[in-house]
Structure 1
């Protein structure tokens, strides 16, 4: 008994979760990649500012009592001739502080992007798992549906669905449900990306011994798919999700620019660009240009993070 106690005391303690992260290949590559570090820092800054927009923004763009139409189209504060120090990024055509509106708009754009990607991931993962695990006619049917879905661009599907909804139920109802509609349309239109990727991974995983062992001990198919196969197929999902968030934000901005996105009363980055576009040639360039730069920077860092994850999680591409 004493010998066993001594052996247990001499055994090294299990590494903590933080120690395992520090020893991982992902952390090692991140500490050596300056672009990934800067991109993650910028994205975290975006997320924090969007999350705490009500506390950071000097004005509430949703509160009519804080909006004065006489303050419309004031240039940024660095314009010594006409700028106002109270509005350091200027104001838009409605007299709203542009800095405050951008903070709230970033919050809306990120929410739509993240929720749309969550929806498409859930749909695509479930369909891909079922198709890859069961195979046969069910696999063929689901993949043909994915092929049909991929033959239509996301923008075309979104424009048709949103335009028909707006024409059928009216603009007022559409504006009330704009965020939900955008999440549903963008999410449902992009599920094949996940389904095809998961299916390919499942086809390789289901032939391995641990899956055969799970079948032998009597585990049901749903538990095998979600508890055993799915965790081993998450690497490509992380890469796709990073890029898809950027694509969803771009899709929302494009739809808002076409008048099918968020209403002007609930600004997103896309609706801000759209609302200021008609003033760009009259000299009020900041209403469109500044939100445009913010949008481009957000999409750029998301794509850079996606490229880094792809290189790290794919050993054939990673060069150390």
Structure 2
């Protein structure tokens, strides 16, 4: 009597996949992923790890303002990386700031992803006038730089609702601003993939079976377009974090009482020539490292999903 063969589980298929094989062979990808995971864990655990809470005014003493790092002359052992102009611990503000920057990055990319997938699927699947209208709209937005769009939308929000309202909902506003500025990248990529996929037999079979357009687009075509979407999403997280940092540096981002990596750099830049270089330097180093590891992961994903150029 022959044994009944069982299909391998998803975990078994993943362990045997080329993706994991190439990942374990690439030291740069593994190192970048490890550092990125460490960033995420530390950001999530900020309230548990941070020596002080930068949001708690009762724990801040103005007499501790602009203290240098603990290993320098005049430093305090309680403030490892020194303090800012308000007496807040730099190490604690970096931990909380990383959490806020990552939150904005992920949420902004989620909004970009949603808008880009819906518009790109619709343009590629329906074609004709719908395609022309949506892509011309995307082309118009792509003709402006991301920062220009973000500055214009940010200025409109501030003028319409006031600075106090903008500060109160700064995180939501930044997510919307960055999300609106970058969705065309997804839309054009998804549209190109849909144009190739909709000519295949499985799509024609779904149409013959009477499936409606939304089901064909989201349940049949979209899963086959995920590889380029994943690559773009990785890079866009880094771009979103940089956009938030740039807007905060220009005074159009988060307020002073909501420390992000960008706002910390902006605050410290005022004091860099007075000798308090650490207020800007340490958040800047963390920002560069975070963006670097995300971009390295994005480059590896781009290569591994393109077997023509990936050599392992």
TM-score band, normalised by shorter chain: over 0.9
Q: 1:54 aligns with which of 28, 39, 47?
A: 47
Per the alignment, residue 231 of structure 1 pairs with 223
TM superposition shift of 1:204: 0.5
Per the alignment, residue 236 of structure 2 pairs with 244
Q: 1:215 aligns with which of 178, 184, 207?
A: 207
Residues 1-320 of structure 1 correspond to what in structure 2 (within 5 A)? 6-7=1-2, 10-79=3-72, 81-320=73-312
Return the alpha-carbon distance in structure 2 between the equivalents of residues 166 and 208 of structure 1.
48
TM superposition shift of 1:103: 0.5
- CA deviations 1:186-224 (Å, max 9, x no partner) are 001111100000000000100101001101111101000
Return the alpha-carbon distance in structure 1 between the equivalents of residues 156 and 212 of structure 2.
43
- CA deviations 1:274-303 (Å, max 9, x no partner) are 000011111100000000000000000000
Q: Which runs of 5+ in 1 are unaligned?
A: 1-5
Return the alpha-carbon distance in structure 2 between the equivalents of residues 192 and 61 of structure 1.
37
Give every structure 1 segment of 4 or more consecutive aligned residues whose post-TM-superposition deviation is greater than 4 Å: none
TM superposition shift of 1:11: 3.3
Q: Which runs of 5+ in 2 are unaligned?
A: none
When normalised by structure 2's length, the TM-score is 0.98
Moved more, 12-21 or 28-37: 12-21
> The residue matched to 2:308 in structure 1 has which SS?
coil
TM superposition shift of 1:12: 3.4
TM superposition shift of 1:157: 1.2
When normalised by structure 1's length, the TM-score is 0.96
Q: CA RMSD in A?
A: 0.9
